[in-house]
């Protein structure tokens, strides 16, 4: 379903029960206009309009209380609190907010929280980097340069916003260089992805798992969905008549948001993937679980969202059964899809439209990729990985 306007300003319908709310408001302190966009589930347009009014009130409250709470000469701790409130009001993704909050609490505010923002200088930032380099995590491990560099990026963002908001004369992070960091998460030795042979063995082992696990892995490996998108799928997103799965939402620890790029996209529903979903659906029906409309495709035992540990444990079991001695995270399934599609020489515009990457955005902007092209691309990959699969057979 394409996004369409409703009779209520700022309320757009993007799905049968999914609405996008938009609110604009002027910030008194800076006289700038900020736009907030939030995706919500509602029973109808009237309820969506009420949620829109609540969002406007919430934004107004955040703006008013934030401005009043700000001292004339704020410390970085004071400003960071306001900075976070603004991000919440703008509808920042919960995962992004959680990361920023953790970084502030663990790496930035212990040193700078009590310091006045206008007195922080470049030497202070350099001294902080030295402290961070020798600091250790709660588990006693020394923090990597990559972690510290991510702290520096957030500190730079906060301080640059403070320079603009508080009309300060200088940015203390200017010309402060990041630490030299070696890649630690993904290397040639630890690619966090599978080869064609690995994936073939993994899929064979997954068939011995419960239908839910098998279906979840098959969908993930042949769609490139992010974990949050995969676990937020509803049965009305699976549109077999059109041969697509609509990716309209994501979730982080139970909080539903838009996909990472903020846009709805579709991925091909190949017959091989549909067969795994059919088995999973029959299993849910046998358990008396809902399999229609807004019911989750992959619910946990209580009907809610799965946590990443569910997939991590499943991957560990499957890889062990397949005799694959590799590390593979849930995001590694997306990397596998991306790498194998690229090696299959799938058109880049088709690949970007399928996995929802924001890079090469202009290519996607000036080209429309239809469902048939996406299905043909996935069919290329399945013919390589699962050559015994008969086309059209469920």
Q: DSSP secondary structure string, 191-212?
A: -SS--HHHHHHHHHHHTTS-HH
Residues 263 and 352 in one domain: yes
**Dist CA 240 CA 258 (whole Å):** 23
The total number of structural domains that make up the chain: 3
pLDDT in tens, 186-245: 555 567 889 999 999 999 999 999 999 999 999 999 999 999 999 999 999 999 999 999
Q: What is the structure's pLDDT at 108?
A: 95
Residues 65 and 81 in one domain: no
Of 19, 34, 69, the position where a domain reaches its end is: 69
Residues 14 and 144 in one domain: no
- 11-13 and 255-257 beta bridge pairing: unpaired
Domain-embedded: residue 35: yes
pLDDT in tens, 193-204: 899 999 999 999
Q: What is the structure's pLDDT at 385?
A: 85
Of 149, 184, 219, the position where a domain reaches its end is: 184
Biggest distance spanned by C-alpha atoms of the chain: 71
Alpha helices, DSSP H only, in the chain? Answer: 45-69, 76-89, 94-103, 109-112, 122-134, 145-165, 196-206, 211-221, 227-231, 271-286, 308-322, 330-343, 348-355, 361-365, 371-385
Look up tokens 């505010």; give the residue: 109
Q: What is the structure's pLDDT at 364?
A: 40
Residues 122 and 225 in one domain: no
Give the range among 59-68, 92-101, 115-124, 146-155 with minimum mean pLDDT.
59-68
Q: Structure tokens of 3?
A: 């996004």
Residues 85 and 180 in one domain: yes
Q: Is the pLDDT of residue 60 over 90?
A: no
Residues 268 and 322 in one domain: yes
Residues 91 and 45 in one domain: no
Query: How far does CA 329 lie from the centroid of its chain?
Result: 15
Residues 179 and 208 in one domain: no
Domain-embedded: residue 63: yes
Cβ atoms within 10 A of the Cβ of 185, count? 11
Burial grade of 286 (CB within 10 A; 0-12, 13-18, 19 or more): exposed
Domain-embedded: residue 191: no
Domain-embedded: residue 394: no
Residues 228 and 351 in one domain: yes
What is the sign, positive or negative, of the torsion defined by CA atoms of 266, 269, 270, 273? positive
Do residues 264 and 280 make contact, with C-beta atoms less than 8 angstroms apart? no
Q: What is the mean pLDDT of the chain?
A: 85
- Write down the pTM of the prediction: 0.66
Query: What mean pLDDT is predicted for residues 350-378?
Result: 61
**Dist CA 172 CA 188 (whole Å):** 37
**Dist CA 201 CA 213 (whole Å):** 15
Which residues 6+ apart lie within 8 Å of 139 measured at CB? none
Q: Structure tokens of 197?
A: 């042979």
Residues 118 and 243 in one domain: no
Domain-embedded: residue 390: no
Write out the residue range of the structural domain in which residue 49 sits.
1-69
Higher-confidence position of 15 and 113? 113
Domain-embedded: residue 139: yes
pLDDT in tens, 321-353: 999 988 899 999 998 988 888 887 777 777 776
| C-alpha distance across the termini of the chain, in Å | 26
Cβ atoms within 10 A of the Cβ of 259, count? 20
Residues 179 and 233 in one domain: no
Q: What is the structure's pLDDT at 374?
A: 75
Q: Is the pLDDT of residue 283 over 90?
A: yes
Residues 220 and 363 in one domain: yes
CA distances from 108 to 26, 86, 170, 280 (A): 29, 19, 19, 46
The domain that contains 165 carries what CATH number? 1.10.150.130
Of 69, 92, 109, the position where a domain reaches its end is: 69
Higher-confidence position of 283 and 380? 283
Domain-embedded: residue 392: no
DSSP of 319-387: HHHHT------HHHHHHHHHHHHHHTT--HHHHHHHHT--TTHHHHHT----HHHHHHHHHHHHHHH-T
Do residues 108 and 155 make contact, with C-beta atoms less than 8 angstroms apart? yes
């Amino acid at each position: 379903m394409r996004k369409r306007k409703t009779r209520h300003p700022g309320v757009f319908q993007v799905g049968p029960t999914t609405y996008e709310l938009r609110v604009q408001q002027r910030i008194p302190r800076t006289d700038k206009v900020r736009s907030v966009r939030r995706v919500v589930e509602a029973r109808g347009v009237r309820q969506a309009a009420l949620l829109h009014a609540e969002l406007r009130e919430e934004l107004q409250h955040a703006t008013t209380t934030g401005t009043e709470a700000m001292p004339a000469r704020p410390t970085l701790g004071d400003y960071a609190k306001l900075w976070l409130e603004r991000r919440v009001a703008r509808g920042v993704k919960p995962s992004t907010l959680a990361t920023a909050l953790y970084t502030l609490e663990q790496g930035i505010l212990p040193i700078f929280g009590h310091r006045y923002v206008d007195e922080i200088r470049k030497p202070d930032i350099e001294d902080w980097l030295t402290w961070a380099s020798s600091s250790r995590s709660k588990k006693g491990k020394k923090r990597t340069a990559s972690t510290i560099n991510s702290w520096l990026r957030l500190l730079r963002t906060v301080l640059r916003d403070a320079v603009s908001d508080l009309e300060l004369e200088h940015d203390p992070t200017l010309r402060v260089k990041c630490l030299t960091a070696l890649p630690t998460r993904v290397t040639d030795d630890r690619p966090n992805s599978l080869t064609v042979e690995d994936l073939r063995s993994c899929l064979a082992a997954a068939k011995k798992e419960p239908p839910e696990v098998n279906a979840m892995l098959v969908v993930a490996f042949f769609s490139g969905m992010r974990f949050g998108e995969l676990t937020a799928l509803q049965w009305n997103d699976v549109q077999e008549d059109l041969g697509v799965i609509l990716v309209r939402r994501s979730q982080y620890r139970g909080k539903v948001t838009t996909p990472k790029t903020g846009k709805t996209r579709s991925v091909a529903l190949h017959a091989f993937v549909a067969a795994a979903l059919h088995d999973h659906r029959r299993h849910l029906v046998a358990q008396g679980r809902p399999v229609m409309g807004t019911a989750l495709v992959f619910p946990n035992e209580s009907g809610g969202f799965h946590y990443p540990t569910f997939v991590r444990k499943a991957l560990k079991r499957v890889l062990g059964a397949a005799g694959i001695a590799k590390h593979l995270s849930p995001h590694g399934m997306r990397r596998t899809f991306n790498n194998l599609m690229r090696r299959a020489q799938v058109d880049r515009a088709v690949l970007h439209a399928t996995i929802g990457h924001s890079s090469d955005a202009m290519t996607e902007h000036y080209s429309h990729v239809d469902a048939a092209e996406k299905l043909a691309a996935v069919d290329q990959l399945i013919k390589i990985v699962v050559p015994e699969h008969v086309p059209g057979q469920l």
